[in-house]
Chain A
Amino acid sequence: MDYSHLKIGLFIPCYVDQFYPQVGIATLELLEKLGCKVGFPLNQTCCGQPMANSGFEHLTKDCNRLFYDSFAAFDYVVSPSGSCVLHIKEHLKVENQENDSKVLRKKVYELVEFITDVLKIDEIEAEFPYRVGLHQGCHGQRGLHLSQMSELNAAPFNKPETLLKKVNGLELVDLDRKDECCGFGGTFCVAEEAVSVKMGKDRVSDHIRHHAEYITGSDMSCLLHLEGILKRKNSPVQVKHIAEILNSAVKKQIPVPNH
């Protein structure tokens, strides 16, 4: 399929921009390999969630404005973070442009759902010959419905798993608790340090118990927290964003569209 007529805006959350540029690069390269024409507006900063989840949604007006001005002109906005995307989808509101804000909300997609639902691709020929545990970020899963949640009596589906299962050599491990929260939770991770860390340790143990070599997910914030715990225990297990795995050794060469 040719998607080059679509203008895709790349939204890289602030903490990914600052600490995990390789995730931004992988997302950009992957989208381009899949035939998308991607732009990265340089004035973007943050979705506003850190303030809003702390009870200060009224201090997110400037972030909303920046996001709006950066992305309103695109056909789709794609981001490698379910949590930030959910926040925008639920809360983006620019004064005097309420309706346009609602239109933009609907154009914002998390990377995995953009690939499976908009591009309609469920197989990417990548290679990653390791045992991998999938950590499902709560906002991506329960908020954006990237996969069915264990709480509901409803038909199972799992978008990130669909893509990961097609990756050459990748072996997905089963977990005891496949969709328990990792305990990051934004400012929760420092305000409720004890519980946050315990939740993270328990998630990490589940993956280690099932011999995962890598923990992946579509939300870098969860992975940042889990990585902090893994490193403190000097564990050989590493975290890798799903974009990095899907972008690894893509065999099928898709022509990169001209800029």
Chain B
Amino acid sequence: MSKAVMEHADAADVFNKDESYVDWHDETLWFVRTKRDKSSKLLPEWENLRETASQIKNYVLSHMDELLETFEKNAKANGIHVHWAADAAEHNEIVLAILKQHNVDRMIKSKSMLTEECHMNDFLTKNGIEVIDTDLGERIVQLRNEPPSHIVLPAIHLKKKDIGDLFHEHLGTDAGATDPQYLTEAARQHLRDKFLTRKAALTGVNFAIAETGGFVVCTNEGNADMGAHLADVHIACMGFEKLIPLQAHLGVFLRLLARSATGQPVTTYSSHFKSPREGQEMHLVIVDNGRSAQLGRADFRNSLKCIRCGACMNTCPVYRRSGGHSYHNAVAGPIGSILAPNLDMTKNADLPFASTLCGSCTNVCPVKIDIHDQLYKWRQVLVQGGHVPQVKEIGVKAMSMVLSQPRFYQWSGRLGRSVMRTLPFMVNNSLNPWFKQREMPEPPKESFRDWYVRNRE
């Protein structure tokens, strides 16, 4: 596998060229984080809910085989066609085959990060299928021919003016229009026609319930329902970690999901699907695509607890100042950075380093994934596997050599400080990334150790 087109640090550098835009992006996502804080603090049982959800998911991860079998059996009994896909390619082929079987060449799709992960839209388009995203944010990025920058807020990187220009070009709205009400109405009219005319609808899955064989899809726009209820064929796609054991567990997760994601008490639509209506066909594609490998990595297993709320992105000071696209992965931000190396260590070796390890992600996570600890652990794995640049290795080895020998360390420190005092241009230059936008510290004549020896020994 090859390196990413542009590594995170380089993409972040480009993102930061326009500081007022970065300020806007940061404030917008911080606003969402603040809403999450307020809403979570209204529930005295919040931390207990997080712990409960975490334990339920731990149970799921340690009983995956039997829960999947139970779920398949119950789903089939409900009249759902169940398919298993080992990887992204198989997933895409299964969806294509279902569509071909029904002679469908135009499909609508509500939000599904799994299909982003599998690059399904590209695949279907190349095979003559037109896919229209019905989530407003997803439709916007689709019209712009770019991936979503956030798993819950796909177009959060765009301003009203960007949307206005885009809709003017594609939907014929008035030039220069930026009124959200007007633009949304235009999108509604545009999408209404698609809902009414498409025979197949694809949805994601937020929770699949082993006990009942049913599944739940959460949206704020009702677009999943509208698509699924009008279409003759409903295809739902899920990564196998979406399982929960019991219907009763839904209460825990639905309360956590919306509060963590946007600060809402609950998503506007929590749609429960159990069996196809008369005359409809319902398909469920259960996808592995590296999840078994992740389940087998003891240090990284619990990343599969993720319910895709996006809270770790909203709180991440790096994400807010580098944007979702800088992560070059379907899932961006802290959670994306611990999921992506499992998919491709070479391409995604930069992502676990795109963090200060501040730990905010771990503490907003509604299912208590130890995200920042996993970032640290991925760094060790990637270095051991030879996935970091050699120049970095040389630098760290030199640093380690100095710090391993007290006398060498004292001598280097003295020399370094003396150079900084007498020949400041040796460090204050464009080769030193620190100096680009920051002053170096004032180098004292005496280290603490020297002072101590002189005064106290």
Contacts and interface: CB of A to CB of B under 8 A. Distances in A.
- Of B393, B405, B417, B441, chain A has the most CB atoms within 10 Å of the CB of B441
Contacts of A225: 438
Contacts of B355: 185, 188
A142 B370 CA distance: 12
Contact of A197 (B379, B409, B437, B441): B437
Interface string A165-208: 00000000000010011011110111111111111101000000
A230 to B, nearest CB: 8
A19 to B, nearest CB: 4
Interface in B43-90: 43-44, 46-47
Nearest to A64: B404
Contacts of A62: 400, 403-405
Interface stretch (A37-45, A92-100, A105-113, A122-130): A37-45
B441 A20 contact: yes
B357 interface: yes
Interface string B415-457: 0110000000000000001101111111110111111110011
A66 B406 contact: yes
Interface stretch (A1-9, A46-54, A209-217, A246-254): A46-54
Interface string A54-81: 1111111011001000000000000000
Interface in B1-56: 8-9, 12-13, 15-16, 19, 22, 26, 30, 37, 40-41, 43-44, 46-47
A154 interface: yes
Contacts of A227: 439, 441
Interface string A5-28: 000000010101111111111001
A105 B388 CA distance: 30
A181 B360 contact: yes
A191 B441 contact: no
Given A17-B448, A188-B353, A227-B441, A45 B404 contact: yes
B404 A40 contact: no
Nearest to A220: B441
Interface in A221-259: 224-225, 227-229, 231-232, 259
A150 interface: yes
A185 B46 CA distance: 30
Summarize B's interface: helix, strand, loop or mixed: helix
A17 B413 contact: yes
Contacts of B170: none
Given A14-B403, A24-B448, A66-B404, A185 B357 contact: yes
B16 A231 contact: no
A9 B233 CA distance: 71
Nearest to B36: A151
Contacts of B441: 19-20, 224, 227-228
Given A19-B444, A177-B30, A192-B12, A42 B406 contact: yes
A151 B368 CA distance: 12
B448 A142 contact: no
A60 B449 CA distance: 22
A243 B10 CA distance: 38
A48 B138 CA distance: 45
B356 A188 contact: yes
B384 interface: yes
Contact of A55 (B382, B440, B451): B382
Contact of B19 (A55, A153, A198, A229): A198
Contacts of B275: none
Contacts of B360: 138, 142, 149, 151, 181
A194 B380 CA distance: 24
B248 interface: no
B356 A183 contact: yes
B451 A194 contact: no
B12 A40 contact: no
A195 B322 contact: yes
A138 to B, nearest CB: 4
27 contacts: A14-B403, A17-B448, A19-B443, A24-B452, A25-B451, A40-B449, A42-B406, A42-B457, A50-B396, A53-B376, A58-B380, A59-B400, A62-B400, A138-B358, A142-B359, A142-B360, A149-B363, A151-B360, A181-B317, A192-B353, A196-B356, A198-B22, A200-B438, A202-B321, A227-B441, A228-B441, A232-B438
Given A20-B448, A51-B396, A51-B403, 4 more contacts: A42-B406, A51-B399, A193-B436, A229-B437
